[in-house]
Each structure stands twice: as C-alpha cells, then as structure tokens.
Amino acid sequence: MEGTEQVRKEAAERVDQLIERFGREAEETARQRAEERLREEDERIRRESRRRAELAQQSADEEVRAAADRARQEALAAASSTAPDWERSESPRAPGEASTPRRRGGPGGGGYRTF
C-alpha cells in the first residue's frame, strides 16, 4: 500500500510539473501572438492615419484654391462694375497679351516741363 501511495504521489507531482511547464509555454506563445497582433494593429492605424492626413491636406489645398478663385472672380467683378465708362468700353485683353503702357504724369513721364 505504501508503495502505491508513493507512486501516485510522484505521478501527481509529475503531472503538476507538466501542467505548469505546458502552461508557461502556452502563456508565452499566447503573449507573443498578442504582441504580434498589437504591432500589426499599430501599423495599420499608422497607415490609416497617414492616409487620412494626406486626404485632409488635399482637401484643404483644394479649399484654398477654390477660395482664391472665388476671391479673384469677385475682385474682377468688382473692378469691372466700378470701372469708369471709358475703361468698360475697351476690349478686354486676353491673358498673356501685352498691354499698352499708360502714360502717367510725374518726372520723366512727359507732359509740361517745369524749371
């Protein structure tokens, strides 16, 4: 009887050691998998964040261009509506076309000489 009890006790101890060893190994494997998943998720979040930042930058750039175009059109409309009649009757110049310089008064501008 005493020998059987001893064998059972040793077997129980070995089983406990095996359970502990496999438990540690399983825990370590699970920890490594979890850390890998975290790294992958972190990288995915970073990529998504960069993509969103690029989209936001593009949207802001487009908004600035649109606002500048609107301001330019409003300025042209205001300039044409407040221009004197003689200037409104002139034919509009094409962009890039050389404009004739206007004569201005002042030194070296022609006109009357004073001594």
What per-residue confidence (pLDDT) applies to 86?
A: 75
| Side-chain-side CA neighbours of residue 46 (13 Å) | 6
What per-residue confidence (pLDDT) applies to 109?
A: 54
Record the pTM.
0.48
Residue 99: CB partners within 8 Å, gap ≥ 6? 93
Listed in sequence order, the DSSP H helices in the chain are 2-82, 85-88
What per-residue confidence (pLDDT) applies to 63?
A: 97
Residue 25: CB partners within 8 Å, gap ≥ 6? none
Q: State the 10-residue block means of pLDDT for the chain, 115 residues long.
A: 86 93 94 97 97 97 97 91 75 56 54 61
What per-residue confidence (pLDDT) applies to 15?
A: 93
What per-residue confidence (pLDDT) applies to 79?
A: 86
What per-residue confidence (pLDDT) applies to 84?
A: 79
What per-residue confidence (pLDDT) applies to 90?
A: 65
3-state secondary structure of 91: coil
